[in-house]
Structure 1
Amino acid sequence: MGSFKKNREVLLALCLCSALVNNVYAAETSKSQNDLEKYVLDEYVVTATKTALSEKKVPMATEVITQEKIKNLGAYSVRDALRMSIGLDVQETGMTGNVVQIRGMNNSHALILIDGRRMAGENTSVTANVYELSRININDVERIEIVRGPGSALYGSDAMGGVINIITKKATDPSASIGVYTGSKEMGTNMTYASGKQGNLSFKISGNLEDIRKQVSKSDGVSTNMYGPRRYLNLSANYDLGKNRGLDFDASFMKEQFTAFDSSNIEWYNNNRSDYSINYYGKDDKNNYNIRAYYNTLKKANQKRPSSNWNGIDWTDWDRSEYNTLVIEGKNSSKLTDQHTLTYGAEYSNLGNKGTRLGAGGDKVYQDTLYGISKYGSEKNLETYSAYIQDEWQINDRFFVVPSIRFDNHSSFGSHVSPKIGSTYNLSDNSRLKINYGKGYRAPSIAELYYSMDRTMGSMRVQVLGNPDLEPEESTSFDISIEGEKGKAFTKLGYFHNNVKNLIESGSVQTIIGPGMPPSIIMRTQYENISEAEIDGIEGEVGYSFNNNWQVKATYTYLDARDKSDNSFLNGRAKHNGTVQLVYSDNKPNPLTATLWSQWYVDYLSRTTNNSITYDNEYTYNTLNFIVNKQFTKNFRAYAGVDNIFDKTFNIDDNHAYDIDGRTWRLGAEWTF
């Protein structure tokens, strides 16, 4: 009966998307390709194959968010820029961070890159990517490329669900800008200066001073977000060596100084991240190559005390953590013949973790005392040696195939091979069929392998232990889609399937009652490979341009995400979600653009446990949002927006796993020179 219900829902969703497709194609049959609205124009994407291919040609499901769209959305962060993307869920999760799910996969299954570089950050299945989208200077972003589906054949670990590559502005184009913004959640100012080419050298500097406003949870009236100042500084330079060769230098810095309250504690956070990169590149008639080395580190320090000095206790806990990433890599794309372009490369990576959350679980164990509290700490490094190869095979005018394979040798579990094959078949000049099949994997992180965390949380101590015997998570994925354009309309309709094994999660919780008055309560858990999941889904996108001013677009995702052990729906996901977007532009030389969109979720599951009893609650809700952007002169623009216009508020569970905070607003202006 359950299988019949599942298949029935899939069939209904397919029928709905098919009806949308048929209506779009029936609506306009005689207009030329030149009449397509702006968001139908074919963008080039690099992330999917590590070569520049058009979105229409590349087999993988991709999306490009341009700088123009980022501006029109009034985006304060990368999270803002992504929130209308198909197949991507980037909701704010209460007072702590973000959900980053691609096609229903876990947070940790999305690989987030900056200019193709991995960034040091939190590395458990729960914390991975939770804060990442807010730690990137949106003012320095040129475009964002999203690839849905496994990317392990080129990128290795962590790309099981897909890849989000944030591409920054380059130093070679002269420009300068100053911006200011304010709103319900943050306020700040930013600046950018790029010299353009001065002889052989060009350089760029970009900075952002931001203040995250304090927000109090409406569910308990006490808990807050992490609020306070965040600072960015981005530096880059290019030196032209001549003959299509050059050197790129990049450095970036981010600093957070946050405070947060809950019902019994106040906690301070001081986070610093730095990133350094050097890249040598060149090309000739047949080859396009580069050799790059980069290093980045995130250092975190926090301490807490009771909200009021309970029993005279000044400090109750503290932590120190450091995450490091070192990568040396080389790549070449060689055009062998008119039919074949071969891309191949090799990579060495060294991921490091040091601090008190490792306790004595790592190497070089030490002991620190701070605020009268002593803690053990240690450090651990994991190395990976990798090589990959990919062929872009243009079989004929209609048929394009991209096979690829990657070999990784990992210091904690040995070797892993990740193959993938994708194809694009042009049904006509304006329609195409795309099919992909591949394997993905995620290596256990240092935290999941070696953690020995012991923290005070309220009246309890929480202990989280690593497990050196963990196996890597593995996935087998398949997707098929059809897409096309007709006159002023376009549509995409696809089906995807992911089978995920060896999911890493924190296992069962042990409750230990310690001695003393009052007795101490210890909640202890250990990471385990405890489940398998099967995720099926349908994603559809349809758009139509009524005239030169008005456009409409809708996205839809149906998700059937199950724990295979008991066939239960996976927590923190909606069975149906999507957006409906209405876009206006007056198309003048200094245009006014406005976007009204509704974002909706149906049967969003929140599973909570209280006193060993599990509760499943499903929620259906939507928010209506509006943004307007006006270019007053060639050098000045301003924007204003309101999210959640109708001020919907609720808290899904008592742990603040997801809050709807109510109506928020934003204003901003930018001067360019």
Structure 2
Amino acid sequence: MFKLTQVSTATRYALCLLALPTSVAANEIQPVTSMERMIVTGSRLAERIDEVPSSVTLIDQQALAQDMLISTELQNLLAFRVPGLAPSTGTSSNSGQNLRGRAALVLIDGVPQSTPLRNGQLDISSIDAGVIERIEVIKGSTSIYGNGASGGIINYITKHASDDKARVNVGVSSKFSAVKLQDSAGYRVDTSIDGTLDDFSYVFSAITEKTGVERDAEGDIIGLVYGLSETESNNFFTKLGYQFDDDKSIKLTYNYYEAQQDADLIDVIGSVNSGVKTYAIKNTTGIANQGVPQGPRGNHNVMLKYVDQDIFPHTQLTLDGYAQKIENMFFYSTALANLSEGYAGGQSLIKSEKQGMRINFVTQVDWDNIESTFIYGLDALEDISSQPLEDGRIWVPEMDMQNLAFYLQTKFVIADDWILKAGIRQDSVDLTVDDYQTLKLCRTESTCSVPFDVTGGDLAYDSTTYNVGLRYNLSDAFSPFMSFSQGADISDLGRLLRTATVNDINLIRTEASIVDNYELGFSGYMGELRYEFAAYRSESELGTSNSFDATTGVYLPVRAPQKIWGYEAQLDYDLTEDISTGLSYSWIEGKDTEADVYLDGSTISAPKLTSYVNWQANDAFNVGIHYIYVGDRNRFEKINDQYVGAQGPIEHYNVVNVSSSYQLNQWQLSLGIENLLNEDYFSARSQAYTYGGYNTKSLGTTINLGVKARF
């Protein structure tokens, strides 16, 4: 006989938050207890972290707000806060910024922002940090969310309405170089209003930011490949909710984000092999720059969500529909030249349109000393993606994917201390590609790739993936956990199609890659000390790496088995009531097991150490210091006296950032300093990537001054 009267307070709270995925996110309901140790992403339900048998990272609103005093770039923030995430690239692209060596699926309130069919690796910066309430990061391949999540999940949970009738927030700030002020000053304006009127809730936000030129430690303008100089971004966000009764609610969310670089600059190209940096100068040639502004032209997201907390006895229903449209424009490149046909270069864009619906049920039943939860439902998604060129040529043809998935996720809390989780997901994917011709690309007028007429057709993928995890909360001081999880990944199919060397799509190795992820770790609390350690290993029979074709200059995909392994450790300690500190360390390595060679810098990152000290001097004044160390990685030899591909050696560097704020009634004054010591360095990616124009130095000392008010 079911005994719901024995459900714990925490479990009742979890039940009231159950959602698909994060559909009734932790930030959208006022908690009866602190949400600091709750997570909603990993299993599609709200649960305490000490009931999750894997490592996760939570970035709450307080940490977000403090880090944004230094920089609003989500890549920088995540690189510091998330062990296992590769160091920031310092650009708009997160290429090489993998999660445990594999691609992460980026979500906004559970809606995918990544474009896995043609992964342009611009998804981390798909929303302004100013509309995010908290970020939840689940590490390791997952069978919960499907394609594109072989490395884990990064879920941006957007802001919720306050209980006030109207709450107004206004913030203004300016960021500029302390090395050379000229043309470097930019501005940011962040405004929002939110509140609750009876059963109706609302959030309206408008954010605009314009950067000046970004300068390195020597005062030179940082290069333009995925550059951030003279970029204007806009984010418009709306969330409307209505509570029909205690059980039923509906919510409509719309988010628009754009960030385009329109700079009157030209690059002076250097090289990793020569040791000369790439930097930008003012265009004084009198000839207009080729191409159009690079960056997201417009990222549209519409989400409609209906929740019934008691559709059946002990069962919650969530209906979740969404639509998305993305256009990401890349920089102009001479690598897309075809001189015989009049093209001196080209500029590509990734276009992606998604629409989907998810039906999710959560049923909870308890007996004796076992609390059990069953999450089950249906995911339906259509994803139409392509990569044309701005001049009308087609590089990657339109790919129309239809994905239908059924899943069951279970959780058992046994005698309060043992947590057992297990799940299964069945995916059926149908993908259609019309006949197309691969693009002819030329290094010179006579040195070109060979175009192929490829017969299109239908591709079908059926996969069943599993996950199982166990955690034992032996004591507050020691809680071991272990997990196994699979991910089915057909990500970046477009890269395979655009480099086809056969005349039929069915002859291209487009098989899905099944990633097996194993994790073992422990965490605990001892007084004011909190810690976590995790070791992991992931294996796949079909990874994706690149091989350089010296004749055409094209990097061709290679499907080969991969093994990736590493470990992470994190410590946090409250020295006093006013001073807190902590550090994290992550190390990762990987190999192509067929050729027995190490994986390059596009997949494997250098070791990373971070630490912080935060001092709350009084109710009004706060100071924080962040330190980031990126270590050495040198696994490759030169080929013909040159490093190729992403095989450049990485040398260590150190970065110190400072944030401070002073609260005066409803006003806040803030000062942030990025790269306080003016470290002169190339980012890890800039050192590893030998491609022309990528070896740019990172920001020198940069000041961010701001003022905010809340009414």
- TM-score, structure 1 as length reference: 0.79
Q: Secondary structure at the match of 2:41?
A: coil
Task: Tell me which of 177, 181, 185 is aligned to 2:173.
Answer: 181
Aligned equivalent of 2:377, options 345, 357, 360: 345
Measure the CA separation in 1 of the matches of 2:217 and 2:581: 34
Percent of aligned pairs with the same amino acid: 16
Aligned to 1:10: none
Provide closer, same or farther for how the CA distance between residues 509 and 145 of structure 1 changes in structure 2, counting only shifts above 3 A: same
Letter in 2 for 1:578: L
Is contact 1:77–1:136 with CA below 8 Å preserved after alignment?
no
CA distance, structure 1, for counterparts of residue 402 and residue 50 of structure 2: 37
Match of 2:267 among 262, 265, 279: 262
Kindly report which structure 2 residues correspond to 1:624-663, keeping only aligned pairs within 5 A, or say none.
624-651=655-682, 652=687, 655=691, 656=694, 659-663=697-701
Q: 1:238 to 1:661 in 2, by over 3 A?
A: same
1:433 aligns with 2:480: yes
Asked if residue 200 in structure 1 is aligned to residue 199 in structure 2, the reply is: yes
What CA deviation, in whole Å up to 9, does each residue of 1:101-155 have, x standing for no partner? 455313xx20110001112547545x33xx222231111110001111222x210
What's the counterpart of residue 399 of structure 1? 418
1:281 maps to amino acid: V
Pick from 145, 148, 156 the counterpart of residue 166 of structure 1.
Answer: 156
Q: Aligned to 2:195, what secondary structure does the other structure show?
A: coil
Could you tell me how far apart the structure 2 residues matched to 1:497 and 1:221 are? 40
- Give 1:608 shift: 8.7
- The CA deviation at 1:637 is 1.5
User: Aligned runs of 1:160-559 on 2, under 5 Å?
Assistant: 160-171=150-161, 173-174=163-164, 175-184=167-176, 187-215=186-214, 223-224=223-224, 225-227=227-229, 228-259=231-262, 261-263=266-268, 266-269=290-293, 271-284=297-310, 286-300=314-328, 304=332, 316-319=345-348, 321-338=350-367, 339-354=371-386, 356-357=388-389, 378-411=397-430, 412-451=459-498, 468-509=508-549, 511=551, 522-529=552-559, 531-559=560-588
Determine the C-alpha separation between the residues in 1 that align with 2:658 and 2:112: 32
Is the CA contact 2:486–2:516 (under 8 Å) kept in the aligned structure 1?
yes
Query: 1:135 & 1:155 partners in 2: Cα distance?
Result: 19
Counterpart contact for 1:156–1:418, Cα < 8 Å: no
Gaps of 5+ in 2: 1-33, 177-183, 270-288, 431-458
Partner of 2:49: 55
Contact 1:444 1:470 in 2 (8 A): no
Partner of 1:242: helix, strand, or coil?
coil
Question: Secondary structure at the residue paired with 1:628?
Answer: strand
Alignment correspondent of 1:154: 144
Going from structure 1 to structure 2, the CA distance change for 1:379 and 1:149 (only over 3 Å counts) comes to closer
Judged with a 3 Å threshold, the aligned counterparts in structure 2 of structure 1 residues 571 and 314 are, in CA distance, closer, same or farther, namely: closer
Matched AA of 1:527: P
1: CA distance, partners of 2:487 / 2:188: 40
Amino acid at match of 1:160: S
Query: Match of 2:461, as an amino acid?
Result: G
Q: After superposition, give the CA deviation of every residue in 1:221-280 in whole Å (9 maximum; x if it has no partner).
A: 783225421111111101222132111111111223323633486442261221111111
Segment drifting more, 91-100 vs 621-630: 91-100
- How far the C-alpha of 1:672 sits from its partner, in A, is 1.1
Partners of 1:668 and 1:278 in 2: how far apart?
35
CA distance in 1 between partners of 2:590 and 2:414 (Å)? 36
CA deviations 1:585-642 (Å, max 9, x no partner) are 12x333x222222211222348697668546554342323232332423422122222
Cα distance change on mapping 1:235 and 1:188 into 2, 3 Å: farther
607-616 or 153-162, which moves further after superposition? 607-616
Q: CA deviation at 1:314?
A: 11
- Distance change in 2, residues 1:144/1:150 (3 Å): same
Kindly report the root-mean-square deviation, in angstroms, between the aligned alpha carbons of the 2 structures.
3.3
Please state if 1:119 is matched with 2:113: yes
Pick the structure with more strand per residue.
1
Please give the alpha-carbon distance, in whole angstroms, between the structure 2 residues aligned to 1:579 and 1:486: 21
After superposing the two structures, state which structure 1 stretch, 373-382 or 140-149, moved more: 373-382
Runs of 4+ in 1 over 6 A off after TM superposition: 216-222, 373-377
* Higher RCO (C-alpha under 8 Å, 6+ residues apart): 2
| Matching residue of 2:608 | 577
The alignment partner of 1:502 has SS state of strand
Listed as ranges, the matches of 1:95-114 within 5 Å are 95=91, 97-99=93-95, 101=97, 103-106=99-102, 109-114=103-108
Q: Give secondary structure in 1 for the equivalent of 2:698.
A: strand
Whether the 8 Å contact between 1:183 and 1:666 is mirrored in structure 2 is yes
Change (3 A) 1:661 1:334: same
CA 1:296–1:112 in 2, change beyond 3 Å: closer, same or farther?
same
